[in-house]
Chain A
Amino acid sequence: MSIDLVLGLFTGVVFGFLLQKGRVLRFDKQVGAMLLKDMTIMKFMLSAILVGMVGINLMASLDIITLSPKAMNVGAIVVGGSLFGIGWAIMGYCPGTSVGAIAEGRWHAIFAVIGMLLGGALYAEIYPLVSETILSWSDYGKITLPQALGVSPWLIIPIFWIGTISLFFWFEKKGL
Protein backbone atom coordinates (compact mmCIF):
# COMPACT_ATOMS: atom_id res chain seq x y z
CA MET A 1 0.00 0.00 0.00
CA SER A 2 1.22 3.49 -0.81
CA ILE A 3 1.81 6.04 1.93
CA ASP A 4 -1.44 7.84 0.99
CA LEU A 5 -3.51 4.76 1.67
CA VAL A 6 -1.73 3.85 4.91
CA LEU A 7 -2.10 7.41 6.18
CA GLY A 8 -5.78 7.45 5.21
CA LEU A 9 -6.44 4.15 6.92
CA PHE A 10 -4.71 5.19 10.13
CA THR A 11 -6.53 8.55 10.17
CA GLY A 12 -9.83 6.79 9.54
CA VAL A 13 -9.36 4.29 12.36
CA VAL A 14 -8.80 7.11 14.87
CA PHE A 15 -11.70 9.08 13.34
CA GLY A 16 -14.04 6.10 13.64
CA PHE A 17 -12.88 5.34 17.18
CA LEU A 18 -13.63 8.92 18.29
CA LEU A 19 -16.99 9.00 16.51
CA GLN A 20 -17.98 5.83 18.32
CA LYS A 21 -16.68 6.98 21.72
CA GLY A 22 -18.53 10.27 21.30
CA ARG A 23 -21.67 8.16 20.66
CA VAL A 24 -22.48 10.21 17.57
CA LEU A 25 -22.92 7.27 15.19
CA ARG A 26 -26.49 6.69 16.34
CA PHE A 27 -29.57 7.48 14.28
CA ASP A 28 -31.21 8.71 17.48
CA LYS A 29 -28.41 11.18 18.20
CA GLN A 30 -28.51 12.64 14.71
CA VAL A 31 -32.26 12.89 14.51
CA GLY A 32 -32.28 13.92 18.19
CA ALA A 33 -30.25 17.00 17.28
CA MET A 34 -32.65 17.83 14.45
CA LEU A 35 -35.58 17.47 16.84
CA LEU A 36 -33.68 19.86 19.16
CA LYS A 37 -33.77 17.31 21.98
CA ASP A 38 -30.22 15.97 22.18
CA MET A 39 -27.29 18.20 21.26
CA THR A 40 -24.58 15.50 21.45
CA ILE A 41 -23.58 15.82 17.80
CA MET A 42 -23.51 19.64 18.02
CA LYS A 43 -21.23 19.46 21.08
CA PHE A 44 -19.00 16.94 19.32
CA MET A 45 -18.76 18.84 16.03
CA LEU A 46 -18.32 22.27 17.58
CA SER A 47 -15.61 21.01 19.97
CA ALA A 48 -13.72 19.55 17.02
CA ILE A 49 -14.13 22.82 15.11
CA LEU A 50 -12.93 24.95 18.05
CA VAL A 51 -9.72 22.96 18.45
CA GLY A 52 -9.12 22.35 14.74
CA MET A 53 -9.72 25.97 13.77
CA VAL A 54 -6.82 27.22 15.91
CA GLY A 55 -4.28 24.66 14.70
CA ILE A 56 -5.31 24.80 11.04
CA ASN A 57 -5.20 28.60 10.88
CA LEU A 58 -1.94 28.73 12.83
CA MET A 59 -0.28 26.29 10.41
CA ALA A 60 -1.71 28.20 7.44
CA SER A 61 -0.38 31.52 8.84
CA LEU A 62 3.08 29.94 9.13
CA ASP A 63 2.83 28.50 5.59
CA ILE A 64 3.13 24.96 6.92
CA ILE A 65 -0.12 23.92 5.20
CA THR A 66 -2.33 25.45 2.49
CA LEU A 67 -6.01 26.07 3.04
CA SER A 68 -8.42 24.77 0.42
CA PRO A 69 -11.87 26.17 1.17
CA LYS A 70 -14.67 24.94 -1.07
CA ALA A 71 -16.17 27.39 -3.53
CA MET A 72 -19.11 29.52 -2.44
CA ASN A 73 -21.14 28.55 -5.47
CA VAL A 74 -24.58 29.85 -4.52
CA GLY A 75 -26.73 27.28 -6.36
CA ALA A 76 -24.53 24.37 -5.35
CA ILE A 77 -24.43 25.28 -1.68
CA VAL A 78 -28.04 26.43 -1.28
CA VAL A 79 -29.77 23.71 -3.32
CA GLY A 80 -27.27 20.96 -2.42
CA GLY A 81 -27.17 21.90 1.26
CA SER A 82 -30.99 21.88 1.50
CA LEU A 83 -31.34 18.57 -0.34
CA PHE A 84 -28.78 17.04 1.99
CA GLY A 85 -30.63 18.32 5.06
CA ILE A 86 -33.91 16.80 3.85
CA GLY A 87 -32.30 13.45 3.05
CA TRP A 88 -30.27 13.49 6.29
CA ALA A 89 -33.40 13.81 8.45
CA ILE A 90 -35.03 10.80 6.80
CA MET A 91 -31.89 8.66 6.55
CA GLY A 92 -30.61 9.58 10.02
CA TYR A 93 -26.94 9.33 9.10
CA CYS A 94 -24.37 11.33 7.22
CA PRO A 95 -21.82 9.71 4.87
CA GLY A 96 -19.06 9.32 7.47
CA THR A 97 -21.27 8.08 10.30
CA SER A 98 -23.21 5.53 8.21
CA VAL A 99 -20.30 3.11 7.86
CA GLY A 100 -19.40 3.53 11.55
CA ALA A 101 -22.99 2.77 12.52
CA ILE A 102 -22.87 -0.59 10.73
CA ALA A 103 -19.62 -1.34 12.57
CA GLU A 104 -21.26 -0.85 15.98
CA GLY A 105 -23.99 -3.32 15.10
CA ARG A 106 -26.69 -0.99 13.76
CA TRP A 107 -26.84 -3.07 10.61
CA HIS A 108 -29.87 -1.27 9.20
CA ALA A 109 -27.43 1.55 8.32
CA ILE A 110 -26.46 -0.66 5.37
CA PHE A 111 -29.63 0.66 3.68
CA ALA A 112 -28.38 4.21 4.16
CA VAL A 113 -25.08 3.23 2.52
CA ILE A 114 -26.93 1.58 -0.39
CA GLY A 115 -29.06 4.69 -0.81
CA MET A 116 -25.99 6.92 -0.84
CA LEU A 117 -24.21 4.73 -3.40
CA LEU A 118 -27.31 4.94 -5.62
CA GLY A 119 -27.36 8.70 -5.08
CA GLY A 120 -23.69 8.93 -6.06
CA ALA A 121 -24.31 6.95 -9.26
CA LEU A 122 -27.40 9.04 -10.02
CA TYR A 123 -25.52 12.30 -9.49
CA ALA A 124 -22.86 11.20 -11.99
CA GLU A 125 -25.67 10.81 -14.56
CA ILE A 126 -27.37 14.15 -13.91
CA TYR A 127 -24.11 16.08 -13.45
CA PRO A 128 -24.05 17.60 -16.98
CA LEU A 129 -27.57 18.96 -16.44
CA VAL A 130 -26.82 20.21 -12.90
CA SER A 131 -23.60 21.75 -14.13
CA GLU A 132 -25.39 23.79 -16.81
CA THR A 133 -28.16 24.93 -14.49
CA ILE A 134 -27.76 25.06 -10.68
CA LEU A 135 -23.96 25.18 -10.67
CA SER A 136 -23.82 28.04 -13.17
CA TRP A 137 -25.95 30.57 -11.26
CA SER A 138 -23.30 32.54 -9.44
CA ASP A 139 -20.00 31.68 -7.83
CA TYR A 140 -18.07 33.74 -5.29
CA GLY A 141 -15.12 31.33 -5.52
CA LYS A 142 -13.01 29.77 -2.79
CA ILE A 143 -13.31 32.42 -0.13
CA THR A 144 -12.88 32.34 3.62
CA LEU A 145 -14.75 34.50 6.09
CA PRO A 146 -11.63 36.57 6.95
CA GLN A 147 -11.12 37.26 3.21
CA ALA A 148 -14.77 38.15 2.68
CA LEU A 149 -14.78 40.56 5.63
CA GLY A 150 -11.23 41.79 5.06
CA VAL A 151 -10.13 41.02 8.62
CA SER A 152 -7.60 38.73 10.28
CA PRO A 153 -8.69 35.18 11.16
CA TRP A 154 -7.36 35.93 14.66
CA LEU A 155 -10.18 38.41 15.11
CA ILE A 156 -12.85 35.90 14.06
CA ILE A 157 -11.53 32.87 15.95
CA PRO A 158 -11.84 34.38 19.48
CA ILE A 159 -15.36 35.60 18.68
CA PHE A 160 -16.29 32.12 17.43
CA TRP A 161 -14.82 30.59 20.60
CA ILE A 162 -16.77 32.91 22.93
CA GLY A 163 -20.01 32.33 21.03
CA THR A 164 -19.61 28.55 20.99
CA ILE A 165 -18.58 28.23 24.63
CA SER A 166 -21.63 30.32 25.60
CA LEU A 167 -23.77 27.95 23.54
CA PHE A 168 -22.22 24.97 25.40
CA PHE A 169 -23.13 26.52 28.76
CA TRP A 170 -26.66 27.05 27.51
CA PHE A 171 -26.90 23.41 26.34
CA GLU A 172 -25.76 22.20 29.77
CA LYS A 173 -28.12 24.53 31.60
CA LYS A 174 -31.05 23.27 29.52
CA GLY A 175 -29.90 19.64 29.83
CA LEU A 176 -29.81 19.19 26.05
Chain B
Amino acid sequence: MKWKTSDNGWSPYLAGALLGLLAIVSAFATTQWMGKTSFLGASTTFVRAAGLAEQAIAPVHVEENAYFSKTQVKVDWQFMIVVGIFIGALISSLTDRSFKLEKVPPTWEKRFGPSVGKRALGAIGGGALAMIGVRMASGCPSGHGLSGMMQLSVSAFVALALFFGAGILVALLVYGRKS
Protein backbone atom coordinates (compact mmCIF):
# COMPACT_ATOMS: atom_id res chain seq x y z
CA MET B 1 0.00 0.00 0.00
CA LYS B 2 1.31 3.44 -0.91
CA TRP B 3 0.96 6.47 1.37
CA LYS B 4 0.84 8.84 -1.60
CA THR B 5 -1.53 8.57 -4.52
CA SER B 6 -0.55 9.12 -8.16
CA ASP B 7 -2.08 12.61 -8.01
CA ASN B 8 0.12 13.56 -5.03
CA GLY B 9 -2.67 13.12 -2.48
CA TRP B 10 -2.63 10.95 0.63
CA SER B 11 -3.80 7.36 0.57
CA PRO B 12 -7.58 7.45 1.18
CA TYR B 13 -7.05 4.82 3.88
CA LEU B 14 -4.67 7.14 5.73
CA ALA B 15 -6.70 10.34 5.27
CA GLY B 16 -9.88 8.45 6.22
CA ALA B 17 -8.33 6.92 9.34
CA LEU B 18 -7.18 10.39 10.43
CA LEU B 19 -10.73 11.64 9.89
CA GLY B 20 -11.88 8.82 12.19
CA LEU B 21 -9.50 10.16 14.85
CA LEU B 22 -10.89 13.66 14.33
CA ALA B 23 -14.43 12.30 14.86
CA ILE B 24 -13.34 10.73 18.16
CA VAL B 25 -11.56 13.87 19.39
CA SER B 26 -14.50 16.01 18.26
CA ALA B 27 -17.07 13.88 20.14
CA PHE B 28 -14.91 14.17 23.26
CA ALA B 29 -14.24 17.90 22.88
CA THR B 30 -17.89 18.86 22.24
CA THR B 31 -18.96 16.87 25.32
CA GLN B 32 -16.33 18.58 27.47
CA TRP B 33 -16.70 22.14 26.25
CA MET B 34 -20.23 22.37 24.88
CA GLY B 35 -21.87 20.17 27.50
CA LYS B 36 -23.39 17.79 24.99
CA THR B 37 -21.87 15.28 22.57
CA SER B 38 -22.12 16.56 19.00
CA PHE B 39 -21.28 14.47 15.97
CA LEU B 40 -19.85 15.62 12.65
CA GLY B 41 -22.41 16.68 10.06
CA ALA B 42 -22.96 19.27 7.36
CA SER B 43 -26.45 19.32 5.87
CA THR B 44 -28.42 21.17 8.57
CA THR B 45 -26.15 24.13 7.87
CA PHE B 46 -27.66 24.48 4.40
CA VAL B 47 -31.13 24.89 5.92
CA ARG B 48 -29.78 27.45 8.39
CA ALA B 49 -27.96 29.34 5.62
CA ALA B 50 -31.12 29.33 3.48
CA GLY B 51 -33.05 30.61 6.50
CA LEU B 52 -30.51 33.36 7.15
CA ALA B 53 -30.74 34.48 3.52
CA GLU B 54 -34.55 34.40 3.58
CA GLN B 55 -34.57 36.32 6.84
CA ALA B 56 -33.10 39.31 5.03
CA ILE B 57 -36.06 39.39 2.63
CA ALA B 58 -38.97 37.97 4.62
CA PRO B 59 -38.17 37.85 8.36
CA VAL B 60 -41.77 37.20 9.44
CA HIS B 61 -42.13 34.29 7.04
CA VAL B 62 -39.00 32.64 8.44
CA GLU B 63 -40.14 33.21 12.01
CA GLU B 64 -43.53 31.60 11.32
CA ASN B 65 -42.07 28.61 9.48
CA ALA B 66 -42.26 25.41 11.54
CA TYR B 67 -39.11 23.84 10.10
CA PHE B 68 -36.98 26.94 10.49
CA SER B 69 -38.11 27.30 14.12
CA LYS B 70 -37.35 23.63 14.76
CA THR B 71 -33.89 23.89 13.16
CA GLN B 72 -33.10 27.35 14.57
CA VAL B 73 -31.76 29.78 12.02
CA LYS B 74 -28.35 30.79 13.36
CA VAL B 75 -24.62 30.33 12.94
CA ASP B 76 -23.72 27.44 15.22
CA TRP B 77 -20.99 24.82 15.77
CA GLN B 78 -21.88 22.83 12.63
CA PHE B 79 -22.14 26.00 10.53
CA MET B 80 -18.53 26.76 11.46
CA ILE B 81 -17.50 23.22 10.48
CA VAL B 82 -18.78 23.90 6.97
CA VAL B 83 -16.91 27.24 6.90
CA GLY B 84 -13.83 25.40 8.19
CA ILE B 85 -14.06 22.74 5.46
CA PHE B 86 -13.69 25.52 2.90
CA ILE B 87 -10.61 26.94 4.66
CA GLY B 88 -9.00 23.54 5.25
CA ALA B 89 -9.49 22.45 1.64
CA LEU B 90 -8.11 25.78 0.43
CA ILE B 91 -4.97 25.47 2.58
CA SER B 92 -4.39 21.87 1.52
CA SER B 93 -4.92 22.45 -2.20
CA LEU B 94 -2.80 25.61 -2.35
CA THR B 95 0.11 24.10 -0.41
CA ASP B 96 0.31 20.89 -2.46
CA ARG B 97 -0.59 22.67 -5.70
CA SER B 98 -3.60 20.54 -6.47
CA PHE B 99 -5.74 23.70 -6.64
CA LYS B 100 -7.11 23.84 -10.16
CA LEU B 101 -9.71 26.09 -11.72
CA GLU B 102 -12.21 23.88 -13.48
CA LYS B 103 -15.20 24.93 -15.56
CA VAL B 104 -16.98 21.59 -15.88
CA PRO B 105 -16.05 18.24 -14.26
CA PRO B 106 -14.41 15.81 -16.76
CA THR B 107 -16.92 12.97 -16.25
CA TRP B 108 -19.80 15.39 -16.82
CA GLU B 109 -18.12 16.91 -19.88
CA LYS B 110 -17.68 13.48 -21.48
CA ARG B 111 -21.43 12.94 -21.35
CA PHE B 112 -22.94 16.44 -21.63
CA GLY B 113 -20.23 18.58 -23.24
CA PRO B 114 -18.45 21.70 -22.00
CA SER B 115 -21.57 23.87 -21.48
CA VAL B 116 -21.52 25.62 -18.09
CA GLY B 117 -25.25 26.29 -18.40
CA LYS B 118 -26.07 22.58 -18.65
CA ARG B 119 -23.80 21.80 -15.72
CA ALA B 120 -25.42 24.57 -13.66
CA LEU B 121 -28.87 23.19 -14.44
CA GLY B 122 -27.85 19.67 -13.41
CA ALA B 123 -26.10 20.79 -10.25
CA ILE B 124 -28.93 23.08 -9.12
CA GLY B 125 -31.67 20.54 -9.86
CA GLY B 126 -29.69 17.64 -8.40
CA GLY B 127 -28.63 19.73 -5.43
CA ALA B 128 -32.18 20.80 -4.60
CA LEU B 129 -33.44 17.21 -4.81
CA ALA B 130 -30.52 15.90 -2.74
CA MET B 131 -31.03 18.49 -0.01
CA ILE B 132 -34.76 17.74 0.25
CA GLY B 133 -33.91 14.05 0.60
CA VAL B 134 -31.16 14.57 3.09
CA ARG B 135 -33.27 16.79 5.35
CA MET B 136 -36.08 14.28 5.21
CA ALA B 137 -33.62 11.57 6.25
CA SER B 138 -32.04 13.94 8.83
CA GLY B 139 -28.50 13.28 7.66
CA CYS B 140 -26.04 13.28 4.77
CA PRO B 141 -22.95 11.15 4.02
CA SER B 142 -21.33 12.94 7.00
CA GLY B 143 -24.21 12.78 9.48
CA HIS B 144 -25.41 9.29 8.54
CA GLY B 145 -22.46 7.93 6.58
CA LEU B 146 -19.74 8.79 9.07
CA SER B 147 -21.27 9.77 12.42
CA GLY B 148 -24.25 7.40 12.26
CA MET B 149 -22.17 4.42 11.15
CA MET B 150 -19.60 5.05 13.89
CA GLN B 151 -22.45 4.85 16.42
CA LEU B 152 -23.77 1.68 14.72
CA SER B 153 -27.09 3.44 14.23
CA VAL B 154 -29.67 1.36 12.36
CA SER B 155 -30.88 4.39 10.39
CA ALA B 156 -27.32 5.02 9.15
CA PHE B 157 -26.94 1.53 7.68
CA VAL B 158 -30.24 1.85 5.80
CA ALA B 159 -29.63 5.47 4.73
CA LEU B 160 -26.10 4.81 3.46
CA ALA B 161 -27.25 1.73 1.53
CA LEU B 162 -29.97 3.81 -0.14
CA PHE B 163 -27.66 6.77 -0.83
CA PHE B 164 -25.36 4.47 -2.78
CA GLY B 165 -28.12 2.19 -4.12
CA ALA B 166 -30.08 5.03 -5.72
CA GLY B 167 -26.85 6.87 -6.62
CA ILE B 168 -25.40 3.86 -8.48
CA LEU B 169 -28.63 3.28 -10.37
CA VAL B 170 -28.95 6.90 -11.51
CA ALA B 171 -25.22 7.34 -12.23
CA LEU B 172 -25.20 4.26 -14.48
CA LEU B 173 -28.28 5.57 -16.30
CA VAL B 174 -26.98 9.13 -16.64
CA TYR B 175 -23.24 8.71 -17.27
CA GLY B 176 -22.92 5.02 -18.07
CA ARG B 177 -23.94 5.05 -21.70
CA LYS B 178 -20.86 6.52 -23.31
CA SER B 179 -18.12 4.66 -21.46
Q: Mark B4-38, 1 if CB is under 8 A from A, else 0.
A: 01010110111111111111101111110110110
CB-based contact A106/B105 at 8 Å: yes
Return chain A residues, CB-CB under 8 Å to B26: 11
Beta-carbon contacts under 8 Å, A57-111 to B: 57, 59-60, 64-73, 76-96, 98-109, 111
Return chain B residues, CB-CB under 8 Å to A119: 46, 127-132, 135
- B: number of interface residues (CB 8 Å): 133
Interface contacts (Cβ under 8 Å), in number, total: 532
* With contact pairs A65-B37, A94-B142 given, residues A115 and B126 touching in the complex (Cβ less than 8 Å): yes
CB-based contact A70/B138 at 8 Å: yes
> How far, in angstroms, from A40 to B12 measured CA to CA in the complex?
6
Min C-beta distance of B125 to chain A, whole Å: 7
> How far, in angstroms, from A112 to B142 measured CA to CA in the complex?
17
Min C-beta distance of B99 to chain A, whole Å: 5
Question: Hey, which bits of chain A sit against chain B, CB under 8 A?
Answer: 3-28, 31-36, 40-41, 43-53, 55-57, 59-60, 64-73, 76-96, 98-109, 111-128, 130-131, 134-135, 140, 142-146, 148, 153, 156-157, 168, 172
Question: Hey, which bits of chain B sit against chain A, CB under 8 A?
Answer: 1, 5, 7, 9-10, 12-24, 26-31, 33-34, 36-37, 39-40, 42-43, 45-47, 49-51, 53-54, 65-68, 71, 75-93, 96, 98-108, 116, 119-120, 122-146, 148-172, 174-176, 179
